[in-house]
Structure 1
Amino acid sequence: MKTIDIDQLKVSIYKDTEEMGQAAADFAADKINSAIDDRGLANLILATGASQFSFLKALKQKEIDWAKVVVFHLDEYIGLSDSHPASFRKYLKDRILDEVKPSQVFLLNGDAEDIEAEIDRYSQELSDRSFDLACIGIGENGHIAFNDPPIADFNDPKLVKIAELDDACRNQQFGEGWFPSFEAVPKKALSLTIPAIMRCKTICCVVPDERKAEAVKNALFAKISTACPATILRKHSNTRIFLDTLSASQLDMF
Protein backbone atom coordinates (compact mmCIF):
# COMPACT_ATOMS: atom_id res chain seq x y z
CA MET A 1 0.00 0.00 0.00
CA LYS A 2 1.20 3.51 -0.91
CA THR A 3 -0.27 6.75 0.38
CA ILE A 4 0.14 10.35 -0.68
CA ASP A 5 -1.52 13.63 0.29
CA ILE A 6 -2.82 15.83 -2.54
CA ASP A 7 -4.26 19.15 -1.39
CA GLN A 8 -6.59 18.03 1.42
CA LEU A 9 -6.95 14.48 0.05
CA LYS A 10 -5.32 11.35 1.37
CA VAL A 11 -4.91 8.92 -1.53
CA SER A 12 -4.06 5.24 -0.94
CA ILE A 13 -3.15 2.67 -3.60
CA TYR A 14 -3.51 -1.06 -3.03
CA LYS A 15 -2.23 -4.04 -5.00
CA ASP A 16 -5.67 -5.26 -6.07
CA THR A 17 -9.37 -4.55 -5.81
CA GLU A 18 -9.90 -6.99 -2.95
CA GLU A 19 -7.27 -5.35 -0.75
CA MET A 20 -8.60 -1.92 -1.67
CA GLY A 21 -12.15 -2.90 -0.73
CA GLN A 22 -11.07 -4.29 2.62
CA ALA A 23 -9.12 -1.13 3.46
CA ALA A 24 -12.02 1.12 2.46
CA ALA A 25 -14.41 -0.99 4.54
CA ASP A 26 -12.10 -0.72 7.56
CA PHE A 27 -12.04 3.06 7.13
CA ALA A 28 -15.82 3.32 6.69
CA ALA A 29 -16.57 1.02 9.62
CA ASP A 30 -14.34 3.12 11.87
CA LYS A 31 -16.19 6.31 10.91
CA ILE A 32 -19.59 4.67 11.36
CA ASN A 33 -18.66 3.20 14.74
CA SER A 34 -17.18 6.51 15.93
CA ALA A 35 -20.46 8.28 15.11
CA ILE A 36 -22.42 5.60 16.97
CA ASP A 37 -20.12 5.94 19.98
CA ASP A 38 -20.47 9.74 19.95
CA ARG A 39 -24.18 10.16 19.23
CA GLY A 40 -25.73 6.72 19.33
CA LEU A 41 -26.49 6.96 15.60
CA ALA A 42 -24.66 7.14 12.27
CA ASN A 43 -26.04 8.68 9.07
CA LEU A 44 -24.56 7.07 5.98
CA ILE A 45 -24.78 7.59 2.21
CA LEU A 46 -23.94 4.64 -0.05
CA ALA A 47 -22.95 4.47 -3.71
CA THR A 48 -23.63 1.73 -6.24
CA GLY A 49 -22.05 0.40 -9.44
CA ALA A 50 -19.38 -2.15 -10.28
CA SER A 51 -16.71 -0.08 -8.51
CA GLN A 52 -18.34 -0.72 -5.14
CA PHE A 53 -18.56 -4.53 -5.28
CA SER A 54 -15.47 -5.36 -3.18
CA PHE A 55 -16.10 -2.52 -0.75
CA LEU A 56 -19.70 -3.46 0.04
CA LYS A 57 -18.80 -7.14 0.28
CA ALA A 58 -16.21 -6.26 2.92
CA LEU A 59 -18.31 -3.63 4.71
CA LYS A 60 -21.16 -6.00 5.55
CA GLN A 61 -18.65 -8.28 7.30
CA LYS A 62 -17.46 -5.56 9.69
CA GLU A 63 -18.51 -5.27 13.31
CA ILE A 64 -21.12 -2.52 13.04
CA ASP A 65 -24.33 -2.11 15.01
CA TRP A 66 -26.50 -1.58 11.96
CA ALA A 67 -29.56 -1.08 14.18
CA LYS A 68 -28.02 2.34 14.88
CA VAL A 69 -27.33 3.26 11.24
CA VAL A 70 -29.54 5.28 8.88
CA VAL A 71 -28.80 4.75 5.18
CA PHE A 72 -29.42 6.98 2.17
CA HIS A 73 -28.06 6.56 -1.36
CA LEU A 74 -26.66 8.77 -4.11
CA ASP A 75 -28.86 8.35 -7.15
CA GLU A 76 -31.45 6.38 -9.10
CA TYR A 77 -32.58 6.22 -12.71
CA ILE A 78 -35.87 7.89 -13.56
CA GLY A 79 -38.45 5.43 -14.89
CA LEU A 80 -36.89 2.22 -13.53
CA SER A 81 -38.77 0.08 -11.04
CA ASP A 82 -36.92 -1.37 -8.06
CA SER A 83 -37.17 -4.81 -9.68
CA HIS A 84 -35.16 -3.78 -12.77
CA PRO A 85 -31.67 -5.37 -12.81
CA ALA A 86 -30.06 -1.92 -13.13
CA SER A 87 -32.04 -0.30 -10.30
CA PHE A 88 -29.77 1.10 -7.62
CA ARG A 89 -32.43 0.39 -5.01
CA LYS A 90 -32.32 -3.28 -6.00
CA TYR A 91 -28.51 -3.20 -6.08
CA LEU A 92 -28.27 -2.00 -2.48
CA LYS A 93 -30.99 -4.27 -1.17
CA ASP A 94 -29.42 -7.32 -2.80
CA ARG A 95 -25.80 -6.55 -1.88
CA ILE A 96 -26.01 -5.19 1.63
CA LEU A 97 -29.24 -3.72 3.01
CA ASP A 98 -31.38 -6.87 3.21
CA GLU A 99 -28.52 -8.59 5.05
CA VAL A 100 -27.40 -5.96 7.57
CA LYS A 101 -30.86 -4.43 8.19
CA PRO A 102 -30.12 -0.80 9.10
CA SER A 103 -32.36 1.13 11.49
CA GLN A 104 -33.83 3.17 8.62
CA VAL A 105 -33.31 3.21 4.87
CA PHE A 106 -34.26 6.10 2.58
CA LEU A 107 -34.13 5.28 -1.13
CA LEU A 108 -34.79 7.53 -4.10
CA ASN A 109 -37.86 6.32 -5.99
CA GLY A 110 -37.05 6.84 -9.66
CA ASP A 111 -40.44 5.61 -10.83
CA ALA A 112 -42.49 7.83 -8.54
CA GLU A 113 -45.61 9.25 -10.18
CA ASP A 114 -44.60 12.76 -9.13
CA ILE A 115 -40.84 13.19 -9.52
CA GLU A 116 -40.82 16.75 -8.17
CA ALA A 117 -42.62 15.58 -5.04
CA GLU A 118 -40.06 12.78 -4.69
CA ILE A 119 -37.25 15.33 -4.95
CA ASP A 120 -38.90 17.42 -2.24
CA ARG A 121 -39.39 14.39 0.01
CA TYR A 122 -35.80 13.21 -0.27
CA SER A 123 -34.37 16.71 0.02
CA GLN A 124 -36.26 17.24 3.27
CA GLU A 125 -34.99 13.96 4.71
CA LEU A 126 -31.43 14.96 3.78
CA SER A 127 -31.71 18.49 5.16
CA ASP A 128 -32.99 17.21 8.51
CA ARG A 129 -29.74 15.30 9.15
CA SER A 130 -26.02 15.77 9.35
CA PHE A 131 -24.14 12.99 7.59
CA ASP A 132 -21.18 11.21 9.08
CA LEU A 133 -20.01 9.44 5.94
CA ALA A 134 -20.63 9.41 2.20
CA CYS A 135 -19.29 6.40 0.32
CA ILE A 136 -18.90 7.35 -3.33
CA GLY A 137 -17.04 6.54 -6.53
CA ILE A 138 -15.76 8.48 -9.53
CA GLY A 139 -17.20 7.87 -13.00
CA GLU A 140 -15.21 7.44 -16.18
CA ASN A 141 -16.20 11.01 -17.10
CA GLY A 142 -15.15 12.30 -13.67
CA HIS A 143 -18.65 12.53 -12.26
CA ILE A 144 -19.60 12.05 -8.62
CA ALA A 145 -23.10 10.67 -8.20
CA PHE A 146 -24.77 11.58 -11.54
CA ASN A 147 -23.28 15.06 -11.64
CA ASP A 148 -21.84 14.72 -15.14
CA PRO A 149 -19.61 17.54 -16.47
CA PRO A 150 -22.35 19.30 -18.49
CA ILE A 151 -24.66 19.69 -15.47
CA ALA A 152 -22.30 19.63 -12.47
CA ASP A 153 -22.60 22.68 -10.23
CA PHE A 154 -20.28 23.23 -7.27
CA ASN A 155 -22.73 25.80 -5.88
CA ASP A 156 -25.98 24.02 -6.66
CA PRO A 157 -28.73 25.38 -4.39
CA LYS A 158 -30.49 22.01 -4.39
CA LEU A 159 -29.70 18.80 -2.50
CA VAL A 160 -31.39 16.55 -5.09
CA LYS A 161 -32.02 17.23 -8.76
CA ILE A 162 -32.93 15.66 -12.08
CA ALA A 163 -29.68 14.83 -13.87
CA GLU A 164 -29.44 14.66 -17.65
CA LEU A 165 -26.94 11.85 -18.26
CA ASP A 166 -24.27 12.54 -20.87
CA ASP A 167 -23.24 9.91 -23.43
CA ALA A 168 -20.00 9.07 -21.60
CA CYS A 169 -21.96 8.27 -18.46
CA ARG A 170 -24.53 6.20 -20.35
CA ASN A 171 -21.76 4.34 -22.17
CA GLN A 172 -20.24 3.44 -18.82
CA GLN A 173 -23.53 2.01 -17.57
CA PHE A 174 -23.90 -0.03 -20.76
CA GLY A 175 -20.26 -1.13 -20.65
CA GLU A 176 -20.64 -2.42 -17.09
CA GLY A 177 -23.42 -4.72 -18.30
CA TRP A 178 -26.41 -3.17 -16.56
CA PHE A 179 -28.36 -2.69 -19.80
CA PRO A 180 -28.71 -4.74 -23.02
CA SER A 181 -27.88 -1.75 -25.24
CA PHE A 182 -26.76 1.86 -25.07
CA GLU A 183 -30.23 2.93 -26.17
CA ALA A 184 -31.76 1.15 -23.17
CA VAL A 185 -29.81 3.27 -20.68
CA PRO A 186 -32.10 5.99 -19.27
CA LYS A 187 -31.28 9.57 -20.17
CA LYS A 188 -32.35 10.97 -16.81
CA ALA A 189 -31.78 10.14 -13.16
CA LEU A 190 -32.36 11.55 -9.72
CA SER A 191 -29.09 12.51 -8.10
CA LEU A 192 -27.72 14.08 -4.97
CA THR A 193 -25.98 17.31 -5.92
CA ILE A 194 -22.33 18.08 -5.30
CA PRO A 195 -23.08 20.33 -2.28
CA ALA A 196 -25.17 17.51 -0.79
CA ILE A 197 -22.12 15.25 -0.96
CA MET A 198 -19.62 17.88 0.18
CA ARG A 199 -21.61 18.65 3.34
CA CYS A 200 -20.86 15.15 4.69
CA LYS A 201 -18.27 15.05 7.47
CA THR A 202 -16.20 12.33 5.80
CA ILE A 203 -16.08 11.04 2.23
CA CYS A 204 -14.82 7.55 1.39
CA CYS A 205 -14.16 7.37 -2.35
CA VAL A 206 -13.53 3.91 -3.82
CA VAL A 207 -12.24 3.84 -7.41
CA PRO A 208 -10.85 0.59 -8.90
CA ASP A 209 -10.17 -0.52 -12.50
CA GLU A 210 -8.02 0.72 -15.37
CA ARG A 211 -10.99 2.30 -17.15
CA LYS A 212 -11.08 4.86 -14.32
CA ALA A 213 -7.36 5.72 -14.54
CA GLU A 214 -7.75 8.88 -16.62
CA ALA A 215 -10.60 10.15 -14.44
CA VAL A 216 -8.50 9.52 -11.34
CA LYS A 217 -5.55 11.42 -12.79
CA ASN A 218 -7.82 14.34 -13.69
CA ALA A 219 -9.53 14.32 -10.31
CA LEU A 220 -6.19 14.59 -8.54
CA PHE A 221 -4.28 16.95 -10.81
CA ALA A 222 -6.52 18.82 -13.25
CA LYS A 223 -7.76 22.31 -12.51
CA ILE A 224 -10.64 22.22 -10.03
CA SER A 225 -13.63 22.71 -12.30
CA THR A 226 -16.83 21.03 -13.44
CA ALA A 227 -14.96 19.69 -16.49
CA CYS A 228 -14.01 16.95 -14.01
CA PRO A 229 -16.52 17.22 -11.16
CA ALA A 230 -14.47 14.94 -8.88
CA THR A 231 -11.76 17.63 -8.64
CA ILE A 232 -13.94 19.33 -6.01
CA LEU A 233 -13.04 16.54 -3.58
CA ARG A 234 -9.68 18.28 -3.17
CA LYS A 235 -11.60 21.04 -1.35
CA HIS A 236 -13.15 18.69 1.20
CA SER A 237 -11.54 18.63 4.64
CA ASN A 238 -11.79 14.87 5.22
CA THR A 239 -11.81 12.74 2.07
CA ARG A 240 -9.93 9.47 1.59
CA ILE A 241 -9.57 8.00 -1.91
CA PHE A 242 -8.94 4.27 -2.30
CA LEU A 243 -7.39 3.03 -5.56
CA ASP A 244 -6.03 -0.22 -6.91
CA THR A 245 -2.89 -0.41 -9.06
CA LEU A 246 -4.92 -0.25 -12.27
CA SER A 247 -6.91 2.87 -11.43
CA ALA A 248 -3.65 4.49 -10.26
CA SER A 249 -1.75 3.47 -13.39
CA GLN A 250 -1.63 7.00 -14.88
CA LEU A 251 -0.25 8.57 -11.71
CA ASP A 252 3.42 9.11 -12.51
CA MET A 253 4.54 9.36 -8.87
CA PHE A 254 3.58 5.74 -8.33
Structure 2
Amino acid sequence: MQLNILEHAEQAGLEAARACEAILRDTIAEKGSARIVLSTGASQFEFLSHFVKLDMEWNKIEMFHLDEYIALPESHPASFRKYLKERFLAYANVGKAWLINGEGDPEDMVKRLNEEIVKAPVDLALIGIGENAHIAFNDPPADFDNESPYTIVNLSDTCKNQQVREGWFASNEKVPQQAITMTVKQILKSRHIVSVVPHQAKAAAILNTIQGGVDNQVPATILKTHPSWMLYLDKASAAPIYQWA
Protein backbone atom coordinates (compact mmCIF):
# COMPACT_ATOMS: atom_id res chain seq x y z
CA MET A 1 0.00 0.00 0.00
CA GLN A 2 1.15 3.50 -0.85
CA LEU A 3 -0.47 5.94 1.60
CA ASN A 4 -0.78 9.60 0.60
CA ILE A 5 -2.22 12.16 3.03
CA LEU A 6 -2.95 15.63 1.67
CA GLU A 7 -4.22 18.76 3.37
CA HIS A 8 -7.62 18.94 1.70
CA ALA A 9 -9.92 16.84 -0.50
CA GLU A 10 -9.12 19.06 -3.47
CA GLN A 11 -5.41 18.28 -3.15
CA ALA A 12 -6.03 14.59 -2.64
CA GLY A 13 -8.12 14.52 -5.82
CA LEU A 14 -5.47 16.39 -7.79
CA GLU A 15 -2.58 14.18 -6.69
CA ALA A 16 -4.60 11.02 -7.35
CA ALA A 17 -5.46 12.30 -10.84
CA ARG A 18 -1.78 12.91 -11.54
CA ALA A 19 -0.91 9.39 -10.39
CA CYS A 20 -3.62 7.96 -12.65
CA GLU A 21 -2.31 10.01 -15.55
CA ALA A 22 1.15 8.47 -15.16
CA ILE A 23 -0.28 4.95 -15.01
CA LEU A 24 -2.45 5.45 -18.07
CA ARG A 25 0.27 7.11 -20.13
CA ASP A 26 2.66 4.25 -19.40
CA THR A 27 -0.02 1.68 -20.17
CA ILE A 28 -0.99 3.27 -23.48
CA ALA A 29 2.67 3.60 -24.45
CA GLU A 30 3.18 -0.08 -23.68
CA LYS A 31 -0.03 -1.62 -25.04
CA GLY A 32 -1.63 1.02 -27.23
CA SER A 33 -4.75 1.17 -25.08
CA ALA A 34 -5.93 1.00 -21.47
CA ARG A 35 -8.94 -0.25 -19.51
CA ILE A 36 -10.24 1.55 -16.44
CA VAL A 37 -12.96 1.11 -13.83
CA LEU A 38 -14.60 4.17 -12.29
CA SER A 39 -16.42 4.53 -9.00
CA THR A 40 -18.88 7.26 -8.10
CA GLY A 41 -20.27 9.01 -5.01
CA ALA A 42 -19.58 12.25 -3.20
CA SER A 43 -16.00 11.25 -2.33
CA GLN A 44 -15.06 11.22 -6.02
CA PHE A 45 -16.16 14.78 -6.89
CA GLU A 46 -12.75 16.40 -6.48
CA PHE A 47 -10.86 13.58 -8.16
CA LEU A 48 -13.08 13.52 -11.24
CA SER A 49 -12.96 17.29 -11.62
CA HIS A 50 -9.19 16.98 -12.11
CA PHE A 51 -9.19 13.63 -13.92
CA VAL A 52 -11.32 14.86 -16.82
CA LYS A 53 -8.94 17.78 -17.41
CA LEU A 54 -5.97 15.54 -18.13
CA ASP A 55 -4.52 15.73 -21.61
CA MET A 56 -5.09 12.04 -22.25
CA GLU A 57 -5.66 9.97 -25.36
CA TRP A 58 -9.15 9.22 -24.12
CA ASN A 59 -10.08 7.50 -27.39
CA LYS A 60 -7.62 4.74 -26.45
CA ILE A 61 -9.29 4.14 -23.09
CA GLU A 62 -12.12 1.71 -22.38
CA MET A 63 -14.18 2.46 -19.25
CA PHE A 64 -16.15 0.09 -17.06
CA HIS A 65 -18.73 1.19 -14.52
CA LEU A 66 -18.22 -0.19 -10.98
CA ASP A 67 -21.78 -0.51 -9.67
CA GLU A 68 -25.37 0.64 -10.09
CA TYR A 69 -28.73 0.37 -8.35
CA ILE A 70 -31.33 -2.02 -9.71
CA ALA A 71 -34.61 -0.51 -10.97
CA LEU A 72 -33.51 3.10 -10.43
CA PRO A 73 -34.29 5.36 -13.42
CA GLU A 74 -31.35 7.16 -15.00
CA SER A 75 -33.25 10.40 -14.44
CA HIS A 76 -32.96 9.98 -10.66
CA PRO A 77 -30.24 12.17 -9.06
CA ALA A 78 -28.69 9.08 -7.45
CA SER A 79 -28.26 7.18 -10.72
CA PHE A 80 -24.60 6.33 -11.18
CA ARG A 81 -25.08 6.21 -14.95
CA LYS A 82 -26.31 9.80 -14.78
CA TYR A 83 -23.36 10.68 -12.52
CA LEU A 84 -20.75 9.27 -14.90
CA LYS A 85 -22.34 10.77 -17.98
CA GLU A 86 -22.41 14.23 -16.38
CA ARG A 87 -19.12 14.18 -14.48
CA PHE A 88 -16.91 12.06 -16.73
CA LEU A 89 -18.23 11.11 -20.16
CA ALA A 90 -19.34 14.66 -20.97
CA TYR A 91 -15.65 15.65 -20.85
CA ALA A 92 -13.68 12.49 -21.66
CA ASN A 93 -14.38 11.05 -25.11
CA VAL A 94 -13.37 7.49 -24.31
CA GLY A 95 -13.17 4.79 -26.93
CA LYS A 96 -15.78 2.63 -25.19
CA ALA A 97 -17.89 3.04 -22.06
CA TRP A 98 -19.65 0.09 -20.46
CA LEU A 99 -22.34 1.59 -18.24
CA ILE A 100 -24.49 -0.57 -15.98
CA ASN A 101 -28.20 -0.36 -16.79
CA GLY A 102 -30.15 -1.59 -13.79
CA GLU A 103 -33.57 -0.82 -15.28
CA GLY A 104 -33.86 -3.90 -17.45
CA ASP A 105 -33.20 -7.56 -16.64
CA PRO A 106 -30.36 -7.44 -14.07
CA GLU A 107 -29.27 -11.02 -14.78
CA ASP A 108 -28.90 -10.21 -18.47
CA MET A 109 -26.96 -7.05 -17.64
CA VAL A 110 -24.57 -9.04 -15.42
CA LYS A 111 -24.08 -11.61 -18.17
CA ARG A 112 -23.20 -8.92 -20.74
CA LEU A 113 -20.79 -7.15 -18.41
CA ASN A 114 -19.08 -10.40 -17.49
CA GLU A 115 -18.58 -11.28 -21.15
CA GLU A 116 -16.94 -7.93 -21.86
CA ILE A 117 -14.71 -7.41 -18.85
CA VAL A 118 -12.96 -10.78 -19.11
CA LYS A 119 -11.71 -10.01 -22.63
CA ALA A 120 -8.61 -8.25 -21.26
CA PRO A 121 -7.15 -7.17 -17.91
CA VAL A 122 -8.23 -3.94 -16.23
CA ASP A 123 -5.24 -1.62 -15.99
CA LEU A 124 -6.54 0.90 -13.46
CA ALA A 125 -9.46 0.70 -11.03
CA LEU A 126 -10.69 3.70 -9.05
CA ILE A 127 -12.18 2.12 -5.96
CA GLY A 128 -13.82 4.21 -3.26
CA ILE A 129 -14.36 3.08 0.32
CA GLY A 130 -17.76 3.42 1.97
CA GLU A 131 -18.55 4.48 5.50
CA ASN A 132 -19.02 0.80 6.38
CA ALA A 133 -15.75 0.05 4.52
CA HIS A 134 -17.55 -1.44 1.52
CA ILE A 135 -15.78 -1.49 -1.83
CA ALA A 136 -18.17 -1.12 -4.74
CA PHE A 137 -21.44 -2.44 -3.29
CA ASN A 138 -19.70 -5.32 -1.51
CA ASP A 139 -21.12 -4.60 1.95
CA PRO A 140 -19.93 -6.44 5.07
CA PRO A 141 -19.76 -9.35 5.36
CA ALA A 142 -18.33 -9.16 1.84
CA ASP A 143 -17.99 -12.19 -0.36
CA PHE A 144 -14.26 -12.48 -1.07
CA ASP A 145 -14.68 -15.72 -3.04
CA ASN A 146 -17.25 -14.95 -5.75
CA GLU A 147 -15.59 -15.76 -9.08
CA SER A 148 -18.14 -13.88 -11.19
CA PRO A 149 -16.80 -10.47 -12.31
CA TYR A 150 -20.16 -8.78 -11.65
CA THR A 151 -22.99 -9.92 -9.42
CA ILE A 152 -26.29 -8.86 -7.85
CA VAL A 153 -26.22 -7.94 -4.16
CA ASN A 154 -28.62 -6.82 -1.44
CA LEU A 155 -27.76 -3.45 0.09
CA SER A 156 -27.20 -3.25 3.83
CA ASP A 157 -28.85 -0.71 6.13
CA THR A 158 -25.49 0.97 6.80
CA CYS A 159 -24.96 1.41 3.08
CA LYS A 160 -28.44 2.87 2.69
CA ASN A 161 -27.81 5.22 5.62
CA GLN A 162 -24.76 6.64 3.85
CA GLN A 163 -26.73 7.30 0.66
CA VAL A 164 -29.35 9.19 2.68
CA ARG A 165 -26.77 11.21 4.65
CA GLU A 166 -25.06 12.24 1.43
CA GLY A 167 -28.38 13.55 0.12
CA TRP A 168 -28.98 11.08 -2.72
CA PHE A 169 -32.26 9.80 -1.22
CA ALA A 170 -34.85 11.24 1.15
CA SER A 171 -35.03 8.15 3.37
CA ASN A 172 -33.79 4.56 3.69
CA GLU A 173 -37.07 3.34 2.25
CA LYS A 174 -36.35 5.23 -0.96
CA VAL A 175 -32.99 3.51 -1.52
CA PRO A 176 -33.22 0.49 -3.85
CA GLN A 177 -32.94 -2.88 -2.17
CA GLN A 178 -30.45 -4.32 -4.67
CA ALA A 179 -27.59 -3.33 -6.93
CA ILE A 180 -25.30 -4.74 -9.61
CA THR A 181 -21.70 -4.57 -8.49
CA MET A 182 -18.23 -5.61 -9.49
CA THR A 183 -17.07 -8.36 -7.16
CA VAL A 184 -14.07 -8.23 -4.84
CA LYS A 185 -12.14 -10.83 -6.83
CA GLN A 186 -12.61 -8.86 -10.04
CA ILE A 187 -11.48 -5.62 -8.37
CA LEU A 188 -8.30 -7.33 -7.17
CA LYS A 189 -7.50 -8.50 -10.71
CA SER A 190 -6.84 -4.87 -11.73
CA ARG A 191 -3.17 -4.08 -12.40
CA HIS A 192 -3.37 -0.88 -10.33
CA ILE A 193 -5.94 0.29 -7.77
CA VAL A 194 -6.30 3.91 -6.67
CA SER A 195 -8.63 4.87 -3.82
CA VAL A 196 -9.50 8.51 -3.16
CA VAL A 197 -11.21 8.69 0.24
CA PRO A 198 -11.52 12.20 1.69
CA HIS A 199 -13.81 13.71 4.36
CA GLN A 200 -14.39 13.07 8.05
CA ALA A 201 -17.35 10.75 7.39
CA LYS A 202 -14.88 8.13 6.08
CA ALA A 203 -12.41 8.42 8.99
CA ALA A 204 -13.63 5.40 10.95
CA ALA A 205 -13.67 3.19 7.85
CA ILE A 206 -10.12 4.27 7.00
CA LEU A 207 -8.86 3.56 10.50
CA ASN A 208 -10.49 0.11 10.51
CA THR A 209 -8.99 -0.60 7.10
CA ILE A 210 -5.48 0.45 8.05
CA GLN A 211 -5.19 -1.04 11.52
CA GLY A 212 -6.97 -4.35 11.02
CA GLY A 213 -6.14 -7.60 9.32
CA VAL A 214 -7.97 -8.82 6.24
CA ASP A 215 -11.58 -9.23 7.34
CA ASN A 216 -14.74 -9.48 5.26
CA GLN A 217 -16.51 -7.46 7.96
CA VAL A 218 -14.24 -4.60 6.85
CA PRO A 219 -14.19 -5.25 3.10
CA ALA A 220 -11.61 -2.56 2.24
CA THR A 221 -8.95 -4.47 4.19
CA ILE A 222 -8.63 -6.85 1.23
CA LEU A 223 -7.11 -4.00 -0.79
CA LYS A 224 -3.99 -4.24 1.38
CA THR A 225 -3.22 -7.56 -0.29
CA HIS A 226 -2.95 -5.91 -3.72
CA PRO A 227 0.61 -5.28 -5.01
CA SER A 228 -0.23 -1.82 -6.39
CA TRP A 229 -2.77 -0.05 -4.19
CA MET A 230 -2.51 3.72 -3.75
CA LEU A 231 -4.68 5.34 -1.07
CA TYR A 232 -5.28 9.11 -1.11
CA LEU A 233 -6.70 10.76 2.01
CA ASP A 234 -7.20 14.28 3.26
CA LYS A 235 -6.44 15.27 6.86
CA ALA A 236 -10.07 14.82 7.85
CA SER A 237 -10.30 11.18 6.75
CA ALA A 238 -6.78 10.45 8.01
CA ALA A 239 -7.16 12.06 11.46
CA PRO A 240 -7.70 8.83 13.47
CA ILE A 241 -4.60 7.27 11.91
CA TYR A 242 -2.38 9.78 13.71
CA GLN A 243 -3.99 8.95 17.05
CA TRP A 244 -3.71 5.21 16.44
CA ALA A 245 -0.08 5.44 15.33
SS in 2 for 1:248: helix
Deviation at 1:253, TM superposition (A): 6.1
Q: Distance in 2 between matches of 1:82 and 1:122?
A: 18
Percent of aligned positions with the same letter in both sequences?
Answer: 42
1:122 to 113, 116, 129: 113
Deviations 1:97-156 (A, max 9, x none): 1221101000111111x2111111001111112111000110000100000003x11121
2:43 alignment partner in structure 1: 51
SS in 2 for 1:13: strand
The alignment covers a number of residue pairs equal to 244
1:133 alignment partner in structure 2: 124
With normalisation by structure 1, the TM-score equals 0.94
Match status 1:162 vs 2:152? yes
1:211 alignment partner in structure 2: 201
The runs of 5 or more residues in structure 2 that have no matched partner are: none
Q: Distance in 2 between matches of 1:73 and 1:17?
A: 23
1:185 to 155, 159, 175: 175
Deviations 1:45-78 (A, max 9, x none): 0000000000000001111110111000110000
Q: Distance in 2 between matches of 1:154 and 1:42?
A: 26
Q: Distance in 2 between matches of 1:182 and 1:81?
A: 17
1:23 alignment partner in structure 2: 15
1:70 to 36, 39, 62: 62
Q: Distance in 2 between matches of 1:60 and 1:209?
A: 21
The runs of 5 or more residues in structure 1 that have no matched partner are: 1-8
Q: Which structure 1 residue ranges, 4+ long, deviate > 4 Å from structure 2?
A: none
1:96 alignment partner in structure 2: 88
Q: Distance in 2 between matches of 1:196 and 1:69?
A: 19
1:108 to 100, 106, 116: 100
Deviation at 1:84, TM superposition (A): 1.4
SS in 1 for 2:83: helix
Q: Distance in 2 between matches of 1:166 and 1:144?
A: 13
Match status 1:146 vs 2:147? no
Match status 1:247 vs 2:226? no
- Report the aligned-residue RMSD: 1.0
With normalisation by structure 2, the TM-score equals 0.97
Match status 1:238 vs 2:228? yes
Deviation at 1:223, TM superposition (A): 2.1
Q: Distance in 2 between matches of 1:57 and 1:202?
A: 21
2:27 to 24, 29, 35: 35
